Amino acid sequence: MAVLGCLQAQEPQGHVSIILLGATGDLAKKYLWQGLFQLYLDEVGKGHSFSFHGAALTDPQKGQQLMAKALETLSCPADMVPSHCAERKDQFLQLSQYRQLKTAADYSALSRDIEAHVQHKGLREAGRIFYFSVPPFAYADIARNINSSCRPGPGAWLRVALEKPFGQDYRSAQELATELGSFFQEEEMYRVDHYLGKQAVAQILPFRDQNRQALDRLWDRHHVERVEIVMKETVDAEGRTSFYEEYGVIRDVLQNHLTEILTLVAMELPRQVSSVEAVLQHKLQTFQALRVLQRTSAVVGQYQAYGEQVRRELQKPGSFQSLTPTFAGVLVYIDNPRWEGVPFILLSGKALDERVGYVRVLFRNQAHCVQSETHWAASRSQCLPRQVIFYIGHGALGSPAVLVSRNLFSPSLPSESWQELQGQPGLRLFGRPLSDFYAYRPVKELDAYSILISHLFHHRKDSFITTENLLASWLFWTPLLDSLAHEAPRVYPGGAENGHLLDFEFSGGQLSFSQQQPEQLVPGPGSAPMPSDFQVFRSKYRDSPLISAWPDELISKLASDIEASAVRAVQRSGEFHLALSGGSSPIALFQQLAHGHYSFPWAHTHLWLVDERCVPLSDPESNFQGLQVHLLPRVRVPHYNVHPMPVQLRRRLCAEEDQGAQLYAAEISALVTNSSFDLVVLGMGIDGHTASLFPQSPAGLDGEQLVVMTRSPSQPHDRMSLSLPLINRAKRVAVLVMGKMKREITLLVSRVGREPRKWPISGVLPSSGQLVWYMDYEAFLG
Ligand SMILES: *[C@@H]1O[C@H](CO)[C@@H](O)[C@H](O)[C@H]1NC(C)=O
Ligand SMILES: *[C@@H]1O[C@H](CO)[C@@H](O)[C@H](O)[C@H]1NC(C)=O
């Protein structure tokens, strides 16, 4: 053995120079120097010789000092003898030198020094690695200098490692890629996504490979119910908002880390997972099968303190509203025979309740056990959830792990690097005790950067992001980013207080928050928002959510909220009952609804009238005419789902004997479950009336009647109206208030209590539903 080791050590494989650009920065201090040291420990004596050049713009003396500081904290693996460690550390420090690299001449000098060193030692140059730990704006200059002045001679390779961000959207990523491509060959570039170096992530493909036999019959749409790819953080973006404000959670985490993981889980497994080309090829094919994302594929949120942090750190005016999401849940589908219809849920956010990362593959379960759970033998019951989990880190386990439900199969993992995990007693994961799983953790926990630096050295390109891969990912994400650019994210308080606020559900290819937004005040005290500064803001009015905006945005916000209610209602019960008011504001709303709301489930929508004048339905004064002209011709509502008020019966208008109000009430009772509309859209008159419920008139304000006859004090016709008790049975009521004329009543009603006899609108408060006010700036701010 000794002889063999000796022989290996003597076989010269050439000299490798590693240049760490940004050697005194945070990433270098925290991870990269340690990764290089680990590489040295792993490779020393195996034939290569090394030199390490820490580089930065700082002058040599100061830079040397800073670098020495960064190197102080190097550590050896726990199982290494301390004296041996100290010896290796000394060697490493001797091989590591600081260089100022600023100008082309500096790079030429470095190149000459490397050549001289190699010659002097009688070595052959194997290659050079440049690790870019610098901001992206510095990439081009450095790349130019390396290409023109610091390439190794013939026979030696060049590798450059690049850190994200790699652009902000498809176009900028492409520009950056083109620029880098003018300096480097594709095989010379190693784009780092450090998640690919996390042990549990790096284990996904080997695991799939080593457990082919069991997984072959499970890893597809017939067996997988859903896949969750999750990275939750408790920290927020404070101190980093100048970066974060430009990126947001989708660019920061989903576009890269979570998408990479998705491809590892979903790709067709190459026959040889050790074939770098095959892996990269199969990854690309997965991108090609991704279904295009819609606006409704995502829900986004922003933790409450974020806006204030941005204003403070970026010196924005008090009125500045950031729309940058700090939380996102996205529903991804892969349209190929293996995954058709299986939801992949990608989720990440800051200021959440826990720090954890995992990939969870949940399998379908058709078993039904008759005996109670206490009889389910030793957690192998087919009734228990069946899942495979790649636990990336943190959370309840605190370490990376691979978990397989015991009722699935007994997995095989490489025993030299993975061992059985003994958890604390009582530990539960995803609602199940740890004993439900075959659980493995790494024998040695390794930092992601150490792993990637080793893969970089060993030319394992499948652990890095190729240009094609990068652009495919941006191509996938950019349309969603564009469509979210002007959307206000849901504001969440942060931490445990988030409660169920960010929970979401999916159906029909769409994601929506499970709870309706308890809309809240975004601007803090003393920073009153100016309408011109942003599009839509939220606040409270009479203790209910208020949405305020310029008229166009307000109407389109209301239209999309109606659509969202409709989609939810149809998912829940198969139909959507919407009661609409007359008037001029609703006409703009009808026009909005008729255009551009393509996923509105019109075929399952019932349209009801909130109130009606006692005029023929064909009369221009009729509220129904508004619907008839502006909405019905453009949407495909079945005609039997349209319910005008029966104000004209037996060729007469609102005759008491015809009992029109009772007829309408009976129709509602017959068709609308519990007489509870899914959504009622109301207006507010300058006298505080709503629907056709007028001040100083008792009709319809209380009592049993669902529909009543009323009379406006100022107008000639009688009217028919939904009663206040019926309105208050609704699941959601939207009150739309627009125009300067409404300013005074808006102010007044904001202060009064519940006095429907004076101001009928003040009696609107759904007993178990939600009220939301929609006011344009003129009505609300004057
Ligand atoms: C890269 O270097 C080569 C060789 O010196 C040179 O021909 C080429 O123009 C350089 N590329 C750029 C974009 O400067
Ligand atoms: C029916 O409506 C009443 C009054 O709004 C409400 O209290 C009750 O919970 C509703 N029942 C159902 C089954 O929705």
Tell whether ligand 1 has an atom less than 6 A from the beta carbon of residue 365: no
Q: In the predicted model, what is the mean pLDDT of residues 47-59?
A: 95
Q: pLDDT of 755-782, one tens digit each?
A: 999 999 999 999 999 999 999 988 987 6
Q: In the predicted model, what is the mean pLDDT of residues 455-481?
A: 96
Question: How remote is the CA of residue 141 from the centroid of ligand 1, in Å?
Answer: 13
Question: How remote is the CA of residue 541 from the centroid of ligand 1, in Å?
Answer: 64
Q: pLDDT of 85-121, one tens digit each?
A: 999 999 999 999 999 999 999 999 999 999 999 999 9
Q: Give the DSSP per-residue string, 200-234.
A: HHHTHHHHHHHTHHHHTTTSSTTTEEEEEEEEE-S
- CA-nearest residue for atom 5, ligand 1, is 148
Question: How remote is the CA of residue 508 from the centroid of ligand 2, in Å?
Answer: 27
Q: In the predicted model, what is the mean pLDDT of residues 71-91?
A: 91
pTM score, whole prediction? 0.67
Residue 598 binned pLDDT confidence (cut-offs 50, 70, 90): low
Per-residue confidence (pLDDT) for residue 549, from 0 to 100? 86
Tell whether ligand 1 has an atom less than 6 A from the beta carbon of residue 183: yes
Q: pLDDT of 204-258, one tens digit each?
A: 999 999 999 999 999 999 999 999 999 999 999 999 999 999 999 999 999 999 9
- CA-nearest residue for atom 1, ligand 1, is 147
Instruction: Return d(Cα 477, Cα 297) in angstroms, integer.
Output: 11
Per-residue confidence (pLDDT) for residue 79, from 0 to 100? 86
| Confidence check: pLDDT of 468 > 60 | yes
Query: Hey, what are 581's tokens?
Result: 């008011």
Rounded to the nearest 10 degrees, the angle between the axes of helix 448-457 and helix 33-43 is 50
Tell whether ligand 1 has an atom less than 6 A from the beta carbon of residue 182: yes
- CA-nearest residue for atom 12, ligand 2, is 674
Place of tokens 């001289």: 116
Per-residue confidence (pLDDT) for residue 591, from 0 to 100? 84
Question: How remote is the CA of residue 725 from the centroid of ligand 2, in Å?
Answer: 12
Residue 530 binned pLDDT confidence (cut-offs 50, 70, 90): very low
| Sign of the torsion angle spanned by Cα atoms 159, 161, 167, 170 | positive
Contacts 24+ apart (CB under 8 A), 236-243: 236/303, 236/305, 236/306, 236/309, 236/326, 236/350, 236/351, 236/494, 237/306, 237/309, 237/326, 237/350, 238/305, 238/309, 238/313, 239/313, 241/306, 241/309, 241/310, 241/313, 241/314, 242/313, 242/314
Question: How remote is the CA of residue 730 from the centroid of ligand 2, in Å?
Answer: 9
| Confidence check: pLDDT of 3 > 50 | no
Given ligand 1 and candidates 146, 147, 151, 184, which is best to mutate, with the most ligand atoms within 8 Å of its CB? 147
Residue 521 binned pLDDT confidence (cut-offs 50, 70, 90): very low
Q: pLDDT of 325-348, one tens digit each?
A: 999 999 999 999 999 999 999 999
Q: In the predicted model, what is the mean pLDDT of residues 46-63?
A: 94
Amino acid at 53: H
Among 279, 336, 702, 312, residue whose Cα is nearest residue 455: 279
Measuring CA to CA, how many Å separate 62 from each of 65, 178, 399, 403, 673? Answer: 5, 35, 38, 49, 76
Given ligand 2 and candidates 706, 768, 771, which is best to mutate, with the most ligand atoms within 8 Å of its CB? 768
Tell whether ligand 2 has an atom less than 6 A from the beta carbon of residue 676: yes
Q: Could you say which of 15, 48, 53, 257 is catalytic?
A: 257
Given ligand 1 and candidates 141, 148, 158, 160, which is best to mutate, with the most ligand atoms within 8 Å of its CB? 148
Residue 758, Cα to own-chain centre: how many angstroms? Answer: 47
Residue 520 binned pLDDT confidence (cut-offs 50, 70, 90): very low
| Ligand lying nearest the CA atom of residue 766 | 2
Instruction: Give the E-state strand segments of 262-317 in sequence order.
Output: 298-303
Instruction: Return d(Cα 773, Cα 548) in angstroms, integer.
Output: 8
Q: pLDDT of 704-759, one tens digit each?
A: 999 999 998 888 789 999 999 999 999 999 999 999 899 999 999 999 999 999 99
Per-residue confidence (pLDDT) for residue 636, from 0 to 100? 87
Tell whether ligand 1 has an atom less than 6 A from the beta carbon of residue 184: no
| Ligand lying nearest the CA atom of residue 104 | 1
Per-residue confidence (pLDDT) for residue 782, from 0 to 100? 65
Q: pLDDT of 349-407, one tens digit each?
A: 999 999 999 999 999 988 887 777 766 555 678 888 899 999 999 988 989 999 999 99
Taking the CA of residue 767 as reference, the ligand 2 atom at the shortest distance is: 5
Does 368 qualify as catalytic in the annotation?
no
Tell whether ligand 2 has an atom less than 6 A from the beta carbon of residue 728: no
- CA-nearest residue for atom 9, ligand 2, is 768
Question: How remote is the CA of residue 711 from the centroid of ligand 2, in Å?
Answer: 29
Query: Hey, what are 360's tokens?
Result: 């969870």
Instruction: Return d(Cα 26, Cα 38) in angstroms, integer.
Output: 18
| Ligand lying nearest the CA atom of residue 675 | 2
Amino acid at 373: E
Tell whether ligand 1 has an atom less than 6 A from the beta carbon of residue 371: no
Q: In the predicted model, what is the mean pLDDT of residues 276-294?
A: 94
Q: pLDDT of 618-674, one tens digit each?
A: 998 899 999 998 899 888 899 999 999 999 999 999 999 999 999 999 999 999 999
Listed range (476-480, 547-551, 727-731, 748-752) with the worst mean pLDDT:
547-551
Per-residue confidence (pLDDT) for residue 596, from 0 to 100? 67
Residue-averaged pLDDT of the chain: 90
Rounded to the nearest 10 degrees, the angle between the axes of helix 276-289 and helix 467-484 is 20
Amino acid at 88: R
| Confidence check: pLDDT of 526 > 50 | no
Per-residue confidence (pLDDT) for residue 368, from 0 to 100? 80
Among 682, 686, 688, residue whose Cα is nearest residue 732: 682
Instruction: Return d(Cα 496, Cα 353) in angstroms, integer.
Output: 5
Residue of higher predicted confidence among 508 and 660: 660
| Confidence check: pLDDT of 527 > 60 | no
Query: Hey, what are 553's tokens?
Result: 């945005």
| Confidence check: pLDDT of 531 > 70 | no
Per-residue confidence (pLDDT) for residue 717, from 0 to 100? 81
Taking the CA of residue 729 as reference, the ligand 2 atom at the shortest distance is: 5
